[in-house]
Amino acid sequence: MEQDQKQSFILLGVLVLALTLAALALIWAAPDAIAMIDASFSPGVGLKQAAILAFVVTVILFVIFALSAGDGLLGEIQFMISGFGLFYLVAWIMIAWVF
């Protein structure tokens, strides 16, 4: 009985410590979170920034596609050239429009 009570007090102490640390982390991260939310709802990116982001996203995604296709980068290159241009165009316009 006393063993259970001792374990309960230890568990309560750990729980209070965890909640205190979570509250401190929330207070510490609040200014950054507010700044990120403010940046998210500010006016969107322009066409130049969207073009850069679309290029980076397209290159990374197409390298992943090529490597997961099994033939590597050279085996899929003839299909990827036209797909790259179309995907880049769509991603560019969608990033500029949505964001």
Residues 22-76: pLDDT tens digits?
A: 999 888 888 887 777 777 666 777 888 888 999 999 999 888 887 777 766 666 6
What pLDDT, on a 0 to 100 scale, did the predictor assign at position 56? 92
Contacts of 55 (CB under 8 A, 6+ apart): 88, 92
Kindly report the pTM of this predicted structure: 0.51
The DSSP secondary-structure symbol of 41 reads T
Chain centre distance of CA 21: 25
Q: Cα(99)–Cα(40) distance, rounded to whole angstroms?
A: 8
The tokens for 97 are: 């429009």
Alpha-carbon distance of 88 to 51, in angstroms, equals 8
